[in-house]
Structure 1
Amino acid sequence: MKDFLDRQFLLNTKTAQALYHDYAANMPIIDYHCHLPPQQIAENKRFDNITQVWLNGDHYKWRAMRTNGVDESYITGDKPDREKFRKWAETVPYTLRNPLYHWTHLELRRYFGISKLLGPDTADHIFDETREKLKSPEYRVRGLLERMNVKVICTTDDPLDTLDNHRAMAEKGFGLPVYPAFRPDAAMDLSDTVKFNGYVSRLAGATNRPISHFTDFIRALNDRHDFFATMGCTVSDHGLEEIYADDYTDDDIDRIFKAAIDNDPISPREHRQFKSAMLYLFAQWDADKGWVQQYHLGALRNNNARMMRKLGPDTGWDSIGDFSQGRALSAFLDRLDQNDQLAKTIVYNLNPADNELMATMIGNFNDGSIPGKVQFGSAWWFLDQKDGMTKQINALSNMGLLSRFVGMLTDSRSFLSFPRHEYFRRLLCDLFGTEVENGELPNDQKWIGQVIQDICYNNANRYFGWE
């Protein structure tokens, strides 16, 4: 029987162990998509205790605590940090076979050297031990990132963001490149026209452009796209239920935009047309600048209306959706490809039922111009766990070239999430190692090790061109 989280964790063969320790373990990390707060990075923030760095903003943990019967006051409410941590510690033993059990104990070990299991009997000791360590300079944000060998971070930013924190880091020589990503979801959302009009007003102020027509709106957004480029941005990102590729005319979009700013009702069909037009324009701008565009598809968001009203979005009330993805995604990518405007593209899928669809779709538009131009992105959100990662890797292996994959990311709001890269790397090495020992792959550890290092770091380094 193996010890829990020992040196060979998830590595079930001698070959897998050699591949991980000799090739994967020490590769640097490029976190090309995350939700880390740029202000906390720029300030090199010091956290007072583990609740602040670990539980605040982590809706993965919040969902588990709610399921375990923890009152909201201990999750997003105003209870003291120690009491919130105790409630998390009470929950952890009940997360067996949930990835949170692995992540929790990996993070305690990798950042704090704590091998005790977290539970009610160890909660106060771990709270106190980590609080003392968090007082030291090496546990400020920069030290936490350096501890995990992070070389590049790409945050997720609304077009209206001033990017003042990114500017400050670049001017001060932070030592670790932190780049913005252009995330214009709010600019194409007409579900609440009052909220949309507030966005339009702020956009007009940010660009010093009056906005009364759709052409004004687009010029202003393009100004922000240009501004992001001056700040080192080379990546866009979109969080969507599905790709939108409905037919529309310029007159349709002018009319829909006017109706929106007049607070007139927008039909579902008109909303889809508007999103289709906006996505195409954003993709053209990305291609013109040579950016990488990312599409996170398949989340059914804000399912609990009562809690959405109380807490707002991104607080743990989302799920996997069952949207029809193939036809519209094909039409969208094909239109761009026909006009020679298809940028480097990463498509992330949240419904595992669509894995093979996504893995085959990317092959339709990989045109030989660069290796892996169109990517099937890493297992995302609910799928960035053992089963989800394995299924994504296998689908990509069977339908495409895993060897050209740009690998793992955190997609996280927590500075303690980087052991997810280790988790992915161990699973990757175990898959290769098992097939070598089964005689399904040659015992060429030098070449397979190179492929693993490429997936862990080198492919992303070349794809994004940040170093």
Structure 2
Amino acid sequence: MKKFIHPDFLLEGKTAREIYNEYAENQPIIDFHCHLSPQLIAEDHNFDNLGQVWLEGDHYKWRAMRTNGVDEEYCTGSPTFYDKFMKWAETVPHTVGNPLYHWTHLELARYFNIFDLLNPGTADTIYHDATEMLRHQDFSVKSILKKMNVEVVGTTDDPADRLEHHAKLKDFKVKVRPTWRPDNLIKTEDPKIFNSYIEKLEAVAGKNISNYADLLTVLDQRHQYFHEMGCRASDHGLDRMYWTNAAGIDPEKAFLKLRAGENLSDTETEGYRFSVMQELCKLNHKRGWVQQFHLGAMRNNNTRLFNKLGPDTGFDSIGRPQDSFKISRFLDSLDANNQLAKTILYNLNPADNETFVTMIGNFQDGSVPGKMQWGAAWWFLDQKVGMEKHLNDLSVLGLLSRFVGMVTDSRSFLSFPRHEYFRRIACNHIGNEVDKGVIPNDKEILKNLVEGISYKNAKEYFGF
């Protein structure tokens, strides 16, 4: 019987198979947005067992386990990783049709050369075989990165981070680059938490932040330090884009209110966030960075379990469609003074697909191929149907050939087969279009297209 993960997995026709094998399969991986730990890379960490590397912090799996009736203890509680893994193995057969089923078996195949389907009957053997391998030096995290042909990893780092682990990785074969993630600067709902964060910035900068001008000075200094450490991108995880043209908006006044422990009004909040985001984007333009905006997550919906477990534990969902007017005005406010950096917009609500791909066309200026990018299908859209829709929408409304491609957006060192997953889906989409006569069966066109979206476009766009 044919293995589930086989050489033609997800490739439906001859053309798809040919272009995947010739142009995509062996391309290096540039994972320009993920949440991997630079500390674990610097320490060349070995994971103790398969349950740990798969289930610790993976809220995708936790959501599926909860849906399958698994008690919370086996997601975030104190049972052993073996016991948690066995509960995951009970869940896996029920994930058929979900990308988790594909990812699980791709990871078993690519890292461990295990092609058995994971279920309660195979779980014990798979756990012990994979765990034995993980404890060897050739399964340390550095070895994993090299094994998976990873060329660049873009981590996610706060401006207050000292980047000491990145400093230790300067000579590592795989480029581990920090990514500036300043979201805490606009989390103004609780002045106490906000001020605690400003104190962290003061400590790392060695400078008091007494007013808004001080804040901007410190941010410029930290931005420059990140640049010196190899950072070439920022990332902003926002519920939406901020913009206002209200008269009398004073970010200095709003900042001083926050520092005094006072809450901002809705108008003051919008004005402060708009001003801070503008200044951050000007820094990105100043140093030639790429800026990424992940828009549209509705986070921490379950109050009871948020209070118990905290954020990023699997209780987020797709938010309402984005305000296209504010996105337009925000981008235009930067472009008006020629301070709009290379920009990637990611949407979480599929209803925003056409809005986002047409929005980026408004601000292409011919200075850089694909200066404005519609980011890869993200989070809940990071699956076969979502990717196919993304590829189709980008093809008909933009330039697929200039797309910078896939990211893992993951905290797991076993997630790199998601790049293979994307490449197979993309080659299948393109191959089917060729077979239908929509795209010419021209070697040069197909080579440039597939190699570009698999690897080359990202390398050129970020300057890695």
> What interval of TM-score do these two structures reach, taking the shorter chain for normalisation?
over 0.9
Matches within 5 A, 1:267-286: 267-286=265-284
Q: Percent identity?
A: 53
- The residue type paired with residue 370 of structure 1 is V
- Mapped partners of 1:51, 1:3: distance in 2: 24
> Over residues 128-172 of structure 1, what are the superposed CA-to-partner deviations in whole Å (9 max), with x where a residue is unaligned?
0011111211111011111211001110000000100000111xx
| 1:13 and 2:51 aligned | no
Structure 1: which 4+ aligned runs deviate by more than 6 Å?
A: none
Aligned to 1:42: 42
In structure 2, the partner of 1:174 is 172
Question: 1:318 maps to which residue?
Answer: 316
Aligned to 2:196: 198
| Cα distance in 2 for residues equivalent to 1:14 and 1:2 | 18
Structure 2 equivalent of residue 112 of structure 1: 112
Deviations 1:289-333 (Å, cap 9, x if unpaired)?
A: 111100001101111111111111111110000143311111111
Would the aligned equivalents of 1:159 and 1:224 in 2 still touch at CA under 8 Å? yes
Shift of 1:3: 5.1
* Secondary structure of the corresponding residue to residue 451 of structure 1: helix
**Does structure 1 residue 123 correspond to structure 2 residue 123?**
yes
Post-superposition offset of 1:268: 2.4
Say if 2:33 and 2:154, in contact at 8 Å, map to a contact too.
yes
- Which of 205-214 and 333-342 deviates more? 205-214
8 Å Cα contact 2:51/2:81 also seen in 1: yes
Task: Name the structure 2 match of 1:32.
Answer: 32
The one of 194, 219, 222 equivalent to 1:221 is: 219
Moved more, 344-353 or 4-13: 4-13
> How do 1:205-354 residues align onto structure 2 when only pairs under 5 Å count?
205-247=203-245, 252-354=250-352
- Rate the CA distance shift 1:362–1:224 in 2: closer, same or farther, 3 A: same
- Note if contact 1:33-1:154 (Cα within 8 Å) is conserved in structure 2: yes
Distance 1:325 1:127 in 2: 47
In structure 1, distance between residues paired with 2:418 and 2:440: 28
Shift of 1:265: 2.1
CA contact (8 A) 1:248 1:277 kept: no
* 2:453 is aligned with 1:430: no
Could you tell me how far 1:109 is from its partner in structure 2? 0.5
User: CA–CA distance in 1 between the matches of 2:403 and 2:231?
Assistant: 22
| Matches of 1:251 and 1:96, distance apart in 2 | 52
Contact 1:234 1:291 in 2 (8 A): yes
Q: Counterparts of 1:307 and 1:6 in 2: how far apart (Å)?
A: 40
1:41 and 1:141 in contact (8 A); partners too: yes
Q: 1:361 aligns with which of 359, 364, 379?
A: 359
Whether the 8 Å contact between 2:321 and 2:351 is mirrored in structure 1 is: no
Residue 456 of structure 1 is matched in structure 2 by 454
Residues 19 and 445 in structure 1, CA contact (< 8 A), matched pair in contact too: no
Asked whether the 8 Å contact 2:160–2:200 carries over to 1, the reply is: yes
Deviation at 1:257, TM superposition (A): 1.1
* Distance (whole Å) between structure 1 residues aligned to residue 248 and residue 178 of structure 2: 31
**In structure 2, what is the equivalent of residue 147 of structure 1?**
147
Cα drift, residue 247 of structure 1: 2.5
Distance in 2 (CA, whole Å) between partners of 1:457 and 1:359 is 21
d(CA) in 2 for partners of 1:413 and 1:130?
A: 19
Return 5+ residue gaps in structure 2 as ranges.
none
Separation in 1 of the partners of 2:327 and 2:417? 32
Structure 1 residue 251: Cα displacement: 5.8
Aligned residue-pair number: 464
Among 416, 425, 446, the alignment partner of 1:418 is 416
What is the RMSD computed on CA atoms of the aligned residues? 1.3
Letter in 1 for 2:154: C
Greater mean deviation of Cα atoms: 378-387 or 258-267: 258-267
Summarize deviations over 1:61-90 as a string: whole Å, max 9, x none: 011011111111111111111001001001
Contact 2:249–2:268 (CA<8 Å) still a contact in 1? no
* Separation in structure 2 between the aligned mates of residue 146 and residue 250 of structure 1, nearest angstrom: 54
Q: What SS does the aligned partner of 1:345 have?
A: strand
SS across alignment from 1:169: coil
